[in-house]
Structure 1
Amino acid sequence: MKTETLRARLLEVQLDLVNHRERSVIVLLTGHAVTHKGRLVNELNHWLENRHTEVHALGPSSEERERPYWWRFWRRIPDRGRIGIFIHGWYGDALFARAERRLSPGAFRDRLAEIRAFEAELAAEGVVLLKLWMDIGRHEQRRHLEALQQDPVRAWQLSDTDWQRHLQHAAIGALGSEMREATAADHAPWRRLDFRDRPAQLRRVGALLHETLVAPPAPPRAMPEAVPDEALAAPSIRHADPRVPAPMKKASYAARLVDAQGRLAINAREVARRRIPVVLAFEGLDAAGKGGGIHRVTEALDARQYRVHRIAAPSDEELALPWAWRFWRRLPADGRIAIFDRSWYGRVLVERVEGLAPEAAWRRAFAEIREFERQLLAHGAVLGKLFLAISQEEQLRRFEARAATPHKRHKLTDEDWRNRERWGDYATAIDEMFARTQAPGAEWALIACDDKRQARLAVLEEVNRRLELRLASPP
């Protein structure tokens, strides 16, 4: 195909992608040094309508180092209808860290497993991947390096790193082969491109991108289902009794509240000093008191240290991106606290029960959630998961009280009554959620909430317990 014809067809299918907004595309180029990656991307961007493309080629910033590793890539996933081009991306990090022995063989394999999970999740959410390995022989690479060095116009492009990569040519080639074999999939194929003159290389890349854009998306390979630890018992909403023999007296509650909030204030300051991130996820039945529990937590905190994220129906911006994006983007920096009033568990609760997510999506979400939380813990975060439970009798009493109180009526919606009618369906979903997402460091705390005072103290006690457990470990 002639260059001009290819260019016209590529632009046509890109604009079709933009108009339909059904999926996004990621093109990732990695491989050996001095294989035209930067110049190829620049020229390819001129072929495309670059208002709908974005290029990423920077190392991690200080902001990104203060969050879990994958945050820096999740926040750069292109919207539906757009093309994201990554130079090296997540592969370059793993490849060069292993070549320089900053990653052990086991850590390298673990990173490749994370990449497989990440790409499977993207593909399931409508992101098409095209991965290009740029190859060059060792002698050809050296000849090209020497030619660049002697060219007064382009010599500035060379760096010590390029020569280091040349010395590591054999290691990078072997590691690249291992990496491609471990991460190749129908939904995330690798294409190997031999070094050649730039116009021919550009035509080849353009043809592969055109082929990717016109091909039907490949079904993603399912993530392997992680099996919860048998010794780690999960709570059960069906077997819990949120009722209390007698409500707590106001005077006793006030004294204990001061003590619990005082402990929390001290723990939060130490968390900030030691740069430990904290993620608290609040889930619960309607009218169980999530807002009241969160308010008693935040009363004890410095407003500069925390942020509360109230998760509702996704916005148009969030619908244009993979489902997990809106949670990744809200993760706190080291030393900060993120509180989620409802969370990523909505996919396996309300979205499941109300039919807002296909069955394949909410079933897949269990493994995705476990991987997400594993990465939070690997970064050193404290993860608290609190589920606030209430009896059907107490929920009805609170609904009726809200309906009768003018300044509380806005809290009661038709959806609350509909959810109540599906109590059994929600109980089934909740117990399965507990069983399939219980893990060391990510255990669920089931809070009995028929008595508001005791429930609020239990919330504070659980948050303090989590923080103190982490603070008791060596820095």
Structure 2
Amino acid sequence: MKESLRFRLLEAQLALAREASRSVVLVVTGQAATGKSALVNELNHRLENRLTEVHALAPSSEERARPYWWRYWRRLPARGRVGVFIHGWYGDALFARAERRMGEGAFRDRLAEIRAFEAELAAEGVALVKLWLDIDRDEQGRHLEALQRDPERAWQVKEHDWQRHLQHAELARLGEAMRGATEAEHAPWQRLAGGPGQAPAKAVAQRLVEAMVGARPRIEAPPPLTLPGGSQPPRLATRAAPAPPPLDKADYRRRLAEAQARLAGNAREAQRRDIPVVLAFEGQDAAGKGGCIHRLTSALDARQYRVHRIGAPSDEERAHPWAWRFWRRLPLDGRVAIFDRSWYGRVLVERVEGLAAPADWRRAYDEIRRFEARLLAHGAVLGKLFLAVDKDEQLRRFHARAETPHKRHKLTEEDWRNRERWDDYCRAIDEMFVHTHGVDGGWALIDANDKRRARLAVLERVNRLLEARLAR
């Protein structure tokens, strides 16, 4: 690599770090014995390696116990950094299909997932560089034999290299189909010759410089993901009328104990079967989400669940695509993750308060549907619960909080500001229901004007979801 190009590469990377407006992801895949590791080593030597992260993944038991895409979301580089993936999500699909561990239909579905994943990254300021290294089959065989004869380099040849040599034609065919299905203006492929005597580092370095300093490409959105038909989405205006009479305290305690005992048994069985549970709580301010979550967790083993209270993103979270902070919090199989507010903030508070651009929150509906579809495909139980109070009841609770010393911290200026935009929030909530209500991932709209009935309704909903999953 020429010194001038080396200087431009380093200069571009340092400017990338200073501006921190985008990150760069390089994926290197292709045929065996093409020098992928040597290429990455050379690039890493030329880059500022404190700002570069290299990943060559063999999935761990922890990664297999979470939805497939978790392993990649959690490793995405922050803005200002470069992430390098050897094979990455392309190698997973390519080799699984070549080895018949993945059917043709599943392969096509995975390529569609990849296209959607990369479009989401590009929309969030990730510049994608995708490299396919090619080699002639005969040349590949000679190179593998030469490596194996050399005592100092024989360790580089693994059994799977010979297997992929035998599959050269099939990998070439699948690679062509894969590149065609995932080629996009925001995620173009570059195909280069690899193997002995080839020097692709110069071309790759040039492409990296362009990704670091170039204009953001137009994002080509994947086809929208449609939800299966099912029940009609709820609406705030039709949740429950007239209100039932308040529950007697003794009756409430009896029913609460019964529901919690039922939940404890269901949760133990879900844990035994390694079924993950993800619960998302949304609701108007003072609707009682915390109280419902407390009654829920009282029935669970504290070692098996975690409550995530989602507020304004941290500096670290703002440096990543918006969905990153939700992907990284997904539970292991057999565990429970409870989100006190969730990814729906994108289409609620961020929309209403102007914290997300209209293009971003409108795009988020489809991104949320895909996120939840991947949870369900992994076998997770997904519960989405919206606790609703009317405007008069919210005001009464605000005043009660203001007058109760140990509850005053719950009432903030932001709560009063949100109340002033009550109608805007109601419109956003109903639109959220329309766009994200489905069969398995459907919304439960809980009338929370009566706290006791709301807590029992939440327990009943979660129990039914678990029992439906356990009955399969």
TM-score range, shorter chain: over 0.9
Matches of 2:433 and 2:36, distance apart in 1? 46
Q: Shift of residue 389 of structure 1?
A: 0.6
Q: Shift of residue 147 of structure 1?
A: 1.1
Match of 1:110 in 2: 109
Match of 1:23 in 2: 22
Q: Which amino acid aligns with 2:167?
A: Q
**CA gap 1:231/1:302 in 2 versus in 1, 3 angstroms:** closer
Q: Shift of residue 239 of structure 1?
A: 2.2
Matches of 1:242 and 1:137, distance apart in 2? 72
Match of 1:209 in 2: 208
Match of 2:363 in 1: 364
Query: Which runs of at least 4 in structure 1 moved beyond 6 Å after TM superposition?
Result: none
Q: Shift of residue 196 of structure 1?
A: 5.4
Match of 1:415 in 2: 414
Match of 2:254 in 1: 255
Q: Which amino acid aligns with 1:391?
A: D
The answer (yes or no) to whether the contact 1:224–1:367 under 8 Å persists in 2 is: no
SS of equivalent residue, structure 1 residue 355: coil
Matches of 2:408 and 2:207, distance apart in 1? 58
Matches of 1:95 and 1:225, distance apart in 2? 24
Matches of 2:164 and 2:106, distance apart in 1? 21
* Cα displacement string for residues 111-137 of structure 1 (whole angstroms, at most 9, x for unaligned residues): 000000100000010100000000001
Matches of 2:71 and 2:10, distance apart in 1? 29
Match of 1:172 in 2: 171
The answer (yes or no) to whether the contact 2:239–2:446 under 8 Å persists in 1 is: no
* Cα displacement string for residues 302-332 of structure 1 (whole angstroms, at most 9, x for unaligned residues): 1001000000000000000000000000000
The answer (yes or no) to whether the contact 1:227–1:436 under 8 Å persists in 2 is: no
The answer (yes or no) to whether the contact 1:242–1:391 under 8 Å persists in 2 is: no
Match of 2:44 in 1: 45
Matches of 1:219 and 1:312, distance apart in 2? 31
Moved more, 221-230 or 416-425: 221-230
Q: Shift of residue 231 of structure 1?
A: 4.1
The answer (yes or no) to whether the contact 1:223–1:367 under 8 Å persists in 2 is: no
**CA gap 1:231/1:276 in 2 versus in 1, 3 angstroms:** closer
Q: Shift of residue 404 of structure 1?
A: 1.2
Counterparts in 2 of 1:19-418, with a 5 A limit? 19-195=18-194, 197=196, 200-241=199-240, 244-418=243-417
Q: Shift of residue 242 of structure 1?
A: 6.7
Q: Shift of residue 423 of structure 1?
A: 1.2
* Cα displacement string for residues 250-271 of structure 1 (whole angstroms, at most 9, x for unaligned residues): 0100110110000001111101
TM-score normalized with structure 1 length: 0.98
Matches of 1:243 and 1:155, distance apart in 2? 78
Q: Which amino acid aligns with 2:223?
A: P
**CA gap 1:151/1:233 in 2 versus in 1, 3 angstroms:** same
Q: Shift of residue 199 of structure 1?
A: 6.7
Matches of 1:451 and 1:172, distance apart in 2? 61
* Cα displacement string for residues 91-128 of structure 1 (whole angstroms, at most 9, x for unaligned residues): 00000000011111000000000000100000010100
The answer (yes or no) to whether the contact 1:243–1:450 under 8 Å persists in 2 is: no
SS of equivalent residue, structure 1 residue 223: coil
Matches of 1:134 and 1:409, distance apart in 2? 62
Q: Which amino acid aligns with 1:286?
A: D
**CA gap 1:243/1:397 in 2 versus in 1, 3 angstroms:** farther
The answer (yes or no) to whether the contact 1:242–1:448 under 8 Å persists in 2 is: no
The answer (yes or no) to whether the contact 1:222–1:364 under 8 Å persists in 2 is: no
Instruction: Structure 2 unaligned segments of length 5 or more: list them.
Output: none
Matches of 1:245 and 1:438, distance apart in 2? 26
Q: Shift of residue 405 of structure 1?
A: 1.2
* Cα displacement string for residues 342-372 of structure 1 (whole angstroms, at most 9, x for unaligned residues): 0000000010011110000000000000000
Matches of 1:373 and 1:212, distance apart in 2? 31
Matches of 1:134 and 1:212, distance apart in 2? 19
SS of equivalent residue, structure 1 residue 200: coil
* Cα displacement string for residues 48-105 of structure 1 (whole angstroms, at most 9, x for unaligned residues): 1100001000210000000000000000000100000000000000000000111110
Q: Shift of residue 229 of structure 1?
A: 4.0
**CA gap 1:358/1:97 in 2 versus in 1, 3 angstroms:** same
The answer (yes or no) to whether the contact 2:140–2:195 under 8 Å persists in 1 is: no
Q: Shift of residue 155 of structure 1?
A: 0.8
Matches of 1:141 and 1:284, distance apart in 2? 60
Moved more, 78-87 or 220-229: 220-229
State the Cα RMSD in Å: 1.2
**CA gap 1:412/1:242 in 2 versus in 1, 3 angstroms:** farther
Matches of 2:205 and 2:195, distance apart in 1? 15
The answer (yes or no) to whether the contact 1:243–1:449 under 8 Å persists in 2 is: no
The percentage of aligned residue pairs carrying the same residue is 68
The answer (yes or no) to whether the contact 2:22–2:126 under 8 Å persists in 1 is: yes
The answer (yes or no) to whether the contact 1:56–1:86 under 8 Å persists in 2 is: yes
Q: Shift of residue 245 of structure 1?
A: 3.4
The answer (yes or no) to whether the contact 1:75–1:328 under 8 Å persists in 2 is: yes
SS of equivalent residue, structure 1 residue 238: helix
Number of equivalences? 472
Match of 2:465 in 1: 466
* Cα displacement string for residues 122-172 of structure 1 (whole angstroms, at most 9, x for unaligned residues): 001010000000000111111111111111110111011001000000000
Matches of 2:227 and 2:205, distance apart in 1? 45
Q: Does 1:442 align with 2:441?
A: yes
The answer (yes or no) to whether the contact 1:32–1:136 under 8 Å persists in 2 is: yes
Matches of 1:133 and 1:301, distance apart in 2? 48
Moved more, 26-35 or 401-410: 401-410
